[in-house]
Structure 1
Amino acid sequence: MPKHVSVVSTGAELPGDPIDNATLERLCGPLPEDVLAGIEVRRRHWIVDPRTGTHRTGTAEMATAAARQALERAGMAASDVDLLVTSTASPDHPLPVVGTYVQERLGLERCAVIEVRAGCVGAVQAMDYARRLLADGTYRTALVIGAESISPLLADVYLGTDPMAVRMRDRLTVYTFGDGAGAALLRAGDEVPEPSVPDSVFATRCLGGARRPGMLVVGGGTDAPPAVQRQRRRLMDIRLDITGTAAFGPRVFVEGLRDMLDRSGLALDRIDACVLPEGNAEYFSREFEEAGLSAQDHAALQKCVVENLADVGATGSAAVPLALDAGWTAGRITPGDTVLLLAIEASRYLYAGLTLTWEAPTPPAGSAAGV
């Protein structure tokens, strides 16, 4: 029989002080007011000093800090962890993987380490993978961590450049993204009979097999010889298909939502918290109806959405765990709640969803990350 698996705590790490839009306006020029209102990001945190580009921390350090907070809140020691599943698209090094550095910093000589190379969907995929390995008895305690350091690519867009000379599409990228890490601590309990209705349902799919990428990070890969890469305007670059993402992204979200509701047998009005960290921006959600989401379902969705985009920006692999942590520590997610984690990723138009019943009691006030 499978073992019961619970999320017992979460943790979060946001580097440095928040960077507001006025600061970015001085560094890379303004965005039109309607565009700024549409992306809905008011502040974000970066690992780099926005004025100098100096690194103040890194992906593995943030991941470790989030993991330690999750362990502290659960009253558990790092030695209790026998599985680490991490997700990032911005590791400290291509190899070894970020999870092994977290393992080292936690003082674990031996630990199972698995890493998902992904953006927004990665943490949800990682959580389901960990959940299955705990349920079948392979491991007992897992840390699932999503961490991202995007700011080094962003600062390179404007450093040493006249702010008014920065292209508008590049400004939009700079204003949109933030850095951070979020962790969830999962624990296997007693064996339970196979339920007639699954306690947790997972789905993931890529819908972009016939489309150009919605987001592309260029540099440091094997798409071209190193000598050719060094001749590019920037050694590494992040490129967004803004038009394509705005048009096709909502369809990915609606299909992902429908898939999760169909698989779980849930109606939207039975979901207490839909952790949707980046798909709720105004420029995006206004297209839901055209993508096939009824006005009634859209209204029901707005009542249960848990997100923190305005405070942290788009944070890739960290997005879902950061929003989950913010919702839990604020008392928005409480024991007994039916929770839907739903992430969409523009890179090749993917979605990943996971349902679960929340069991962890609300932590004491004042334990939230510095959002």
Structure 2
Amino acid sequence: MKNVYITKTGHFLPNDPVSNDEMEKRLGMIDDQPSRAKRIVLRNNGIKERYYAIDTEGNITHNNAQLTKEAILTLFDNDFKEDDIELLSCGTSTPDNLLPAHASMVHGLFSMRSIELNTASGVCCSGMNSLKYGYLAVKSGDKKNAVCTGSERVSTWMQGAKFDKEVENLKSLEETPVIGFKKDFLRWMLSDGAGAFLLESEPKGELSLKIEWMRAYSFAHELEACMYAGGEKLEDGSLKPWSDFQPEEWLAESIFSLKQDVKILDEYVSVKGVESLKDVLESENVNTDSIDYFLPHISSFYFGDKLLEEMRKQQLDIPKEKWFTNLADVGNIGSASVYLIIDALFKSKKLKKGDRLLIAVPESGRFSYFYSLMTVC
């Protein structure tokens, strides 16, 4: 088995950064009314700027595949070109189409030769799943290199106009025309962008990141869905899929909108995260004192504080001064966030050879977690 190194990192963020004050103007109000949830959510998540693939006039500037392509382009130079790619592995929560697969749509934007593709779906862990596929392909010697990506284009899901029919339906039923918090909450949490890594079996350049291991956990056997789209949660916790609704209900009930059950998110995301993190550190025989940087993907600083509190409760000590995140500057980009965090640290000039990075990525879809240990070479 070969060693696997991240030899290049890159990212792409569309258009100019969007401040908290500009968000609602860019996404549009629902029923011409300011959101009741916006102020509370933004105060808790601590995000100052994010990026949207929508311009100031409301025009769409990039789809998800185009964002991914732009991130991949940043990996190319005289030593590594488009036709050198052997495997393209792409993860996302928000593909442009149900079919074809996301990686196929990205490949279609290039003029490269025929290559192997992999598409990883899911929520935030889909970016890590795409990375693990590339990692295993290079580690086994099946491929000499792999380009792995995480990307999201979620802003168009959150535009106010997408909820007009639901608001009209509520008015016709003489109910308050305000969409539920489980939908409005996410409008102020998520943003657009893409990240890309080049994986090779030899270190290159001034610094590379050796992937020591990757481990994943799922608690779907214990817990119901928390974040979902294309369906509706029933009283028993099961999900009724979009295909079981009548077409008129798709709009009247915003069936395709992203939703999050905030109650079970708050109850379980940190507890199960620390439970699985403790297990992986024990099974991989990693002492937290040996970790130089802890890179958690957190959806908000509120949940970062909850994670730290739970770590202390379960006697897992990773001091806050070892944590690294760029959440406040780029926002929560789901599956792409871990790519942008690693890219930012990789290019920060802070790293030195021998530093050890512990990566932690949770997703609240049905509570999954992904971990990796990387060493600077």
TM-score of the two chains, using structure 1 as the length reference: 0.83
Distance in structure 2 (CA, Å) of the matches to 1:179 and 1:341: 21
Distance in structure 1 (CA, Å) of the matches to 2:9 and 2:142: 22
In structure 2, the residue matched to 1:46 is 52
Aligned with residue 64 of structure 1, among 64, 69, 73:
69
Contact 2:6 2:211 in 1 (8 A): no
Structure 2: runs of 5+ lacking an equivalent: 168-175, 204-209, 233-240
Amino acid paired to 1:286: D
Aligned with residue 127 of structure 2, among 123, 127, 137:
123
Aligned with residue 198 of structure 2, among 167, 185, 190:
185
In structure 1, the residue matched to 2:293 is 273
Q: How does 1:283-294 map to 2 (within 5 A)?
A: 283-288=302-307, 291=310, 293-294=312-313
Contact 1:6 1:358 in 2 (8 A): no
1:35-78, Cα deviation, whole Å (9 max, x unpaired): 423211111111124663x3110111111111110233x84111
Distance in structure 2 (CA, Å) of the matches to 1:8 and 1:292: 32
Distance in structure 1 (CA, Å) of the matches to 2:115 and 2:127: 19
Contact 2:92 2:120 in 1 (8 A): yes
Distance in structure 2 (CA, Å) of the matches to 1:25 and 1:352: 33
The answer to whether residue 341 in structure 2 is matched with residue 323 in structure 1 is yes
In structure 1, the residue matched to 2:173 is none
Contact 1:5 1:134 in 2 (8 A): yes
Contact 2:52 2:191 in 1 (8 A): yes
In structure 1, the residue matched to 2:102 is 98
TM-score of the two chains, using structure 2 as the length reference: 0.82
- Secondary structure of 1:237's counterpart equals coil
RMSD of aligned Cα (Å): 2.9
In structure 2, the residue matched to 1:207 is 219
- Secondary structure of 2:200's counterpart equals strand
Distance in structure 1 (CA, Å) of the matches to 2:284 and 2:15: 39
Distance in structure 1 (CA, Å) of the matches to 2:117 and 2:192: 23
The answer to whether residue 357 in structure 2 is matched with residue 339 in structure 1 is yes
Amino acid paired to 1:283: Y
- Cα distance 1:226–1:182, how it changes in 2: closer, same or farther (>3 A)? farther
Contact 1:40 1:310 in 2 (8 A): yes
Number of aligned residue pairs: give it: 346
1:131-165, Cα deviation, whole Å (9 max, x unpaired): 1111111000100001111111111367778xx97
- Secondary structure of 1:275's counterpart equals strand
The answer to whether residue 150 in structure 2 is matched with residue 143 in structure 1 is no
In structure 2, the residue matched to 1:10 is 9
Amino acid paired to 2:353: P
Structure 1: runs of 5+ lacking an equivalent: 191-197, 360-371
Contact 1:202 1:260 in 2 (8 A): no
- Cα distance 1:223–1:21, how it changes in 2: closer, same or farther (>3 A)? same
Contact 1:50 1:155 in 2 (8 A): no
In structure 1, the residue matched to 2:262 is 242
- Cα distance 1:58–1:231, how it changes in 2: closer, same or farther (>3 A)? closer
- Secondary structure of 2:83's counterpart equals helix
Contact 1:3 1:135 in 2 (8 A): yes
Amino acid paired to 1:41: I
Task: State the Cα distance separating 1:218 from its structure 2 match.
Answer: 2.0
In structure 1, the residue matched to 2:252 is 232
Distance in structure 1 (CA, Å) of the matches to 2:255 and 2:304: 34
Distance in structure 2 (CA, Å) of the matches to 1:255 and 1:295: 8
Distance in structure 2 (CA, Å) of the matches to 1:90 and 1:175: 16
- Cα distance 1:301–1:120, how it changes in 2: closer, same or farther (>3 A)? farther
Greater CA deviation, 262-271 or 111-120?
A: 262-271
Distance in structure 2 (CA, Å) of the matches to 1:310 and 1:348: 25
Greater CA deviation, 208-217 or 341-350?
A: 208-217
Distance in structure 1 (CA, Å) of the matches to 2:250 and 2:332: 28
